[in-house]
Amino acid sequence: MPRSRGSQRWLKEHFNDPYVREAQRRGLRSRAVFKLEEIDERDQLLSRGQSVVDLGAAPGGWSAYAASKVGPSGRVVAIDLLEMLPVPNVTFVQADFSRDEGLAQLDAALAGSGVDLVMSDMAPNLSGQKAVDQPRSMFLAELALDFCQERLNPGGGLLVKVFQGQGFDELLKAMRERFAKVQSRKPEASRNRSREVYLLARGFRA
């Protein structure tokens, strides 16, 4: 079956992408690692001994990077509906984070311990219809924020991917109510045509 023009364009862009090439050269799991790396280097997000939760973790690039930064004294717990190959020093839960059962499995893996940083690179399966995709993406971001409420340590942080559009201002307001500081980040590795940005919240008010 011949590929559509849109998919052909995506494939050409993907394989010509310098971040894709660099990820392959370094043996990284995805180009998304460079987004987290840039934000971390700018904002000093990750440090030794931290407890980190990675929402929507597959294929594991962010989890692997976080584990390398928090070290053996830290902890990374990751969750995704999709299967993920094992990552050293990462506890992985294969479950649907948006459902109560998945959340319960994640809580069981945390075993009551507090979290210093919640990361979410989650995105819905895009249909190409903004009226459908935007509410889905905002729902995932809101779930990440709600997850912080009972689990994030005082002063902790949240890094969440969102798409600019309907619901963005409301989410930003809700985050500012719960965190001392909220900033927007658009890493160079984010494709220019993408509406994605990352909201970085610090100083959780428990």
Position 32 pLDDT exceeds 90: no
- Total-model pTM: 0.85
- Spatial CB neighbours of 144, under 8 Å, sequence gap ≥ 6: 55, 118, 120, 122, 158, 160
Q: Is the dihedral of CA 41, 42, 48, 54 positive or negative?
A: negative
Question: Which of 35, 161, 173, 181 does the annotation list as catalytic?
Answer: 161
In 56-189, DSSP assigns E strands to: 75-80, 90-94, 115-120, 152-163, 179-185
| Residue 52 host element (H or E) | strand 51-55
pLDDT the model gives residue 110: 97
Residue 160 to residue 175: CA distance in whole angstroms: 11
155 annotated among ligand-binding-site residues: no
pLDDT, tens digit (0-9, with 9 covering 90-100), for 38-58: 999 999 999 999 999 999 999
121 annotated among ligand-binding-site residues: yes
Position 133 pLDDT exceeds 80: no
| Residue 204 host element (H or E) | strand 196-204
Contact 179, 173 (CB under 8 A): no
Residue 49: CATH number of its domain: 3.40.50.150
96 annotated among ligand-binding-site residues: yes
Of residues 194 and 19, which shows the higher confidence score? Answer: 194
Position 131 pLDDT exceeds 50: yes
Output the CA torsion 2→84→55→165 (10° steps).
-10
Q: Which domain holds residue 71?
A: 5-204
Contact 89, 51 (CB under 8 A): no
Split into its structural domains, the chain has a count of 1
Preceding omega of 88 cis (within 30 degrees of 0): no
The CA distances from residue 118 to 26, 74, 85, in Å, are 26, 14, 21
35 is catalytic: no
When mean pLDDT is compared across 9-13, 16-20, 132-136, the lowest value belongs to: 9-13
pLDDT the model gives residue 206: 81
60 annotated among ligand-binding-site residues: yes
